Amino acid sequence: MTASSAFVSTFFSPQTLSFSPKSSCSPRLLLPTNVRMVRTVTLATASKPATGTGTRAPRGIMKPRSITPEMQAVVGVPEISRALALKQIWAYIKEHNLQDPENKKMINCDEKLKKIFGGKDRIGFLEIAGLISPHFL
């Protein structure tokens, strides 16, 4: 016990615990380093339900539009949204294995797709959205 009390008295002498401005020791060095910030729990209140009729009519690329007969041959319906048409064209491409096996970004068009894509034999997948635009009436 005497050894430990000597150890404690060496490090915690009155000179090191003094926080007076005359002290040569910086108070920053004596502050504990393992202090944790404690967050308080706040209660969230339920927000008010949105006013209105509930669901609104689809707009933009989600709004169904009538399409040309060439596009109807691929997607199978007379009226469809741009987003769904693009999705069904991709399904048609995958179903008929029309992607180039070496470069998956390129699509080899069959007769139905040639009618939609302006008679091109091959197109890039980024061109699809622009090439289907004229088919929406």
Q: Is residue 77 part of a domain?
A: yes
Residue 48 in domain: no
What pLDDT is recorded for position 45?
A: 73
Tens digits of residue pLDDT in 9-24: 555 555 555 555 555 5
Asked whether residue 36 is assigned to any structural domain, the reply reads: no
Which burial class, exposed, middle or buried, applies to 67 when counting CB atoms under 10 A from its CB (0-12, 13-18, 19+)? Answer: buried
123, β-bridge pairs: 107
Torsion angle defined by CA atoms of residues 39, 41, 42 and 43, in that order, rounded to the nearest 10 degrees: 160
Number of domains in the chain: 2
- On whether both 73 and 117 belong to a single domain, the answer is yes
Phi, psi of 79, deg, nearest 5: -140, 130
* Domain of 73, in residue numbers: 60-135
The amino acid at residue 102 is E
Using one digit for the tens of pLDDT, what is the confidence trace for 94-137? Answer: 999 999 999 989 999 999 999 999 899 999 989 988 998 998 88
CATH assignment of the domain containing 95: 1.10.245.10
Q: Are residues 64 and 11 part of one domain?
A: no
pTM recorded for the entire structure: 0.57
